[in-house]
Amino acid sequence: MDSRPATATAAPAATPAQTARAPRFPKSLDPGVERTWRRAAPPADWNLTRAEFQSALECSASTRFAGVVATPAKIEAYLEALHARDLALAVACAGGSAAAWDVFMAEFRPELYRAARAIVGAARGDAAARELADSLYAELYGLRESSGRRKSLFEYFHGRSKLSTWLHAVLAQRHVDEIRRTRPARPLEDDTGTARVEVESREAENADADPERASHLAALQAALAAALGALDPRDRLRLAYYYLDDRTLAEIGRLLGEHEATVSRRLDRARRDVRGKVEAWLRDVKKWNGAQIRECLECARGEWPFDLSQHLKDDASSAERKI
């Protein structure tokens, strides 16, 4: 699970355009909304109202708790765990605030370029990295009109991870999509040197055309949820800090009162523990053999379709309050 961006955080979910259908918060949540609004503290020139921010919170919560009945206490705990300032910035940018866009460009443009360089690799150079990063801006601003309004990619950000982490995930997914779009079928050779034709890559990688892969990913999702749920709360907190908050080992050490080397060692142990629990779940619950388990794990290579925040953020926030 050594994959920082939780790619599914970039997958389309409910958007602010759908907040009219999102459940309204009861009055009992007003204090929690107010605290989240104060944490966000958007400057006046962002032109973001408290009502607009609350709509974004309701949209975020309705996505997080889709299909389940969440108590006000659980929703309030969820609001406390959100990256409020990042969510406010995204909502203001989606609304077209020039001042908010100035802040976004100043804070995140250099980071996007660094992430793009890491994704495309040194061999392709800065020009390719800049092209990948710049390709996002039109979608973030929202040039397409839908029902008379701009549709911004920011509308898919719900504040459950840091905005920088979400942007990295979107950038990585765009790169993968472009590779799949442009990669041709190519001949491969077997051990004897005899050429054979590779199946068209996009066809082979299409999950809808491969129900077995979809089944494997569903089983892996269930196994991962069970494995993370069985972890010690402090281990979940370390994983949340590292994978969701994108903190360094030194920062995590300062927060938890641990040496940097200790954090690294315990993160490694937690990763191994999660993998062991995932394999045990697939073996004991699904009754799969070793070959089937390896095939299942192979499905997640090259693309990480799971939202780790679903299984780490809420539990980790509770653990953080207990520490």
Q: Model confidence over 43-72: pLDDT tens digits?
A: 999 999 999 999 999 999 988 887 777 888
Average pLDDT over residues 264-286: 89
84/10: higher pLDDT: 84
Give the integer Cα–Cα distance in Å for 278 and 262: 24
pLDDT (0 to 100) of residue 241: 83
CA angle 165-171-176, nearest 5°? Answer: 125
Q: What percent of the chain has pLDDT over 70?
A: 70
Q: Taking 90 as the threshold, does the pLDDT of residue 84 lie above it?
A: yes
Q: Which of 103, 169, 192 is nearest to 305 (CA)?
A: 169
pLDDT (0 to 100) of residue 24: 86
pLDDT (0 to 100) of residue 14: 43
Instruction: Work out whether strand 195-197 and strand 149-150 pair parallel, antiparallel, or are unpaired.
Output: unpaired
> What 8-state DSSP symbol labels residue 245?
S
Given a contact cutoff of 8 angstroms between Cβ atoms, the answer to whether 284 and 230 are in contact is no
Average pLDDT over residues 6-23: 42
> What 8-state DSSP symbol labels residue 99?
H
Q: Taking 50 as the threshold, does the pLDDT of residue 19 lie above it?
A: no
Q: Which of 242, 222, 235, 232 is nearest to 286 (CA)?
A: 222
Average pLDDT over residues 171-179: 74
pLDDT (0 to 100) of residue 167: 86
CA distances from 314 to 65, 71, 89, 156, 183 (A): 12, 14, 22, 19, 39
Of 83-87, 102-106, 263-267, least confident by mean pLDDT is 263-267
Of 8-12, 155-159, 281-285, 296-300, least confident by mean pLDDT is 8-12
309/66: higher pLDDT: 66
Average pLDDT over residues 8-22: 42
Given a contact cutoff of 8 angstroms between Cβ atoms, the answer to whether 104 and 93 are in contact is yes
pLDDT (0 to 100) of residue 265: 87
Q: Taking 70 as the threshold, does the pLDDT of residue 309 lie above it?
A: no
pLDDT (0 to 100) of residue 311: 66
- Which backbone phi and psi does 110 adopt, to 5 degrees? -60, -40
Average pLDDT over residues 162-184: 75
Give the global pTM: 0.53
Mean pLDDT of the chain: 75
Collapsing DSSP to helix, strand or coil, 180 comes out as helix
Helix ranges (H only) for the chain are 30-40, 50-64, 72-81, 84-94, 98-120, 125-141, 163-182, 201-204, 211-229, 233-239, 249-256, 260-284, 290-298, 309-322
Average pLDDT over residues 251-269: 86
198/310: higher pLDDT: 310
pLDDT digits (tens, 9 = 90+) for 129-157: 788 888 788 788 876 555 566 678 898 89
Which residues are registered as beta bridge partners of 189? 195
- For the chain, what is the radius of gyration of the CA atoms? 21
Which residues are registered as beta bridge partners of 187? 197
pLDDT (0 to 100) of residue 194: 40
pLDDT band at 118 (very low <50, low <70, confident <90, very high): confident
pLDDT (0 to 100) of residue 171: 81
pLDDT (0 to 100) of residue 224: 85
Q: Taking 60 as the threshold, does the pLDDT of residue 310 lie above it?
A: yes
